[in-house]
Amino acid sequence: MLAKKTLARKEAPDGGAEDRRDALGVSRLSLAVGAGERAIPLLADVTVRVGRGETVGLVGESGSGKSLTARTALGMLPRGARATGSVTVSDVDVLSAGRKTLRDLRRTRASMIFQDPRASINPVRRIGDYLTEGLRARGVPARAAAERALDLLDQVGIRDPGSAVRRFPHEFSGGMLQRVVIAGALSTEPELLLADEPTTALDVTTQAEVIALLKNMQQVHGTGMLFVTHDLDLAAAICDRIYVMYAGRIVEESVSAALFTAPAHPYTRALLEASPSVHGDKVAIKAIKGRPRALAESPSGCSFRDRCPLAGDDCAASVPAHRPHGTSLVACLHPEQVTP
């Protein structure tokens, strides 16, 4: 397991209170595609904040809305989607910002690393052009940008950066290309880095190197990082705070260490029990019964209630509001039955 570094800001969850120093503030974000009766809700009431220099995890099963949340944070909404609530990145109001403002934001102050490096990089442009683009947008002269590109490639462990800048994406393996994408994301020393399962496609050794790189760059530049993953072990190792998502909603938020020892939501506990690495191999792994739900098909009241061993009639009445329990903010009526 990766060593947990000293944390820049370790604090109790605060329910997403806006802070001018925050790298990301998502407040009561709801997202739906389609209009009128045909509207399909995808996210509901999502509140997430990432402080400067902080690493914040976003975990949950496939389809829970992690990528939608990360993409919406940079104004990349699905076609035909409508968002309500607010999203602030480095003082930019993302949901009302125009195209140019968003493009500038993405080029300079906020970066995103996607799970699949090939999907996020133009296949017909040389790596050098890809890396200098953001720097040039920030007004860095061409020669200085070219030198910085070489330096970045060296820092992310690409051998012979001089020849790498002349190569095209298809000439790199997946792991090497992910390093290039990370170099690109870090080229502008962003205030916010959204990392959407950046290491899922990589082997464990490369994964550890890439994570170390991200943490190092983050510490040097004070970048706030939202780290999307379904790997709880990895989240435990690198995150200061963690948000747990289920069916398009945040169901629990806690400081990382406490979430793993004292989960407050039955879903969080179920995720932990289903994770072999967090529990060690002596404890029987329990699969979560049923299948994950999308927001549109989740039951009334608590979305998790049809899979929850603790659910009672009261859970069907309305969506539970977030309330404090231990170090968590949890959307459950019975957290004391999960961890007293």
- Sheet strand arrangement including 22-33: 40-51, 22-33, 81-89, 92-93
- Residue 66 corresponds to which tokens in the numbers above? 């992690």
DSSP, residue by residue, 62-86: TTSSHHHHHHHHTT-PPTTEEEEEE
Report the nearest approach of ligand ATP to the CB of residue 12 (Å).
26
**Shortest Cβ distance from residue 41 to ligand ATP (Å)?**
9
Nearer to ligand ATP, 62 or 205 (CB): 62
Select from ligand ATP, Mg ion, none the partner in contact with residue 175, using the beta carbon and a kind-dependent cut-off of 5 to 8 Å: none
Q: Which does 95 bind (CB under 5 to 8 A by kind): ligand ATP, Mg ion, none?
A: none
**Residue 205: which of ligand ATP, Mg ion, none does it interact with, CB under 5 to 8 A by kind?**
none
Min separation Cβ 255 and Mg ion, Å: 24
Cβ distance to Mg ion smaller for residue 67 or 90: 67
Residues forming contacts to ligand ATP in the complex (CB under 6 A) are 33, 42, 60, 62-68, 78, 230, 294
Cβ closer to ligand ATP: 229 or 327?
229
**DSSP assignment, residue 307?**
G
Q: Whose CA is closest to 248, among 179, 203, 296, 316? A: 296
Minimum gap (Å) between residue 176 Cβ and ligand ATP: 23
The 10 Å CB-count burial string (b at 16+, else e) for 278-289 is bbeeeeeeeebe
**Shortest spacing between CB 6 and Mg ion, in angstroms:** 30
**DSSP H stretches of helix in 65-203:** 66-73, 99-108, 127-137, 142-155, 161-164, 174-186
User: What are all long-range contacts of 312-321, with beta carbons under 8 Å and residues at least 24 apart?
Assistant: 319/44, 319/45, 319/249
The residues of the shown chain that bind Mg ion, judged by CB under 5 A, are: 67
Residue 224 binds which of ligand ATP, Mg ion, none (CB < 5-8 A, kind-dependent): none
The nearer residue to ligand ATP, 63 or 85, going by C-beta atoms, is 63
> Of the two residues 133 and 253, which places its CB atom closer to ligand ATP in the complex?
253
For the bound state, the minimum distance from the C-beta of residue 267 to ligand ATP, rounded and expressed in Å, comes to 13
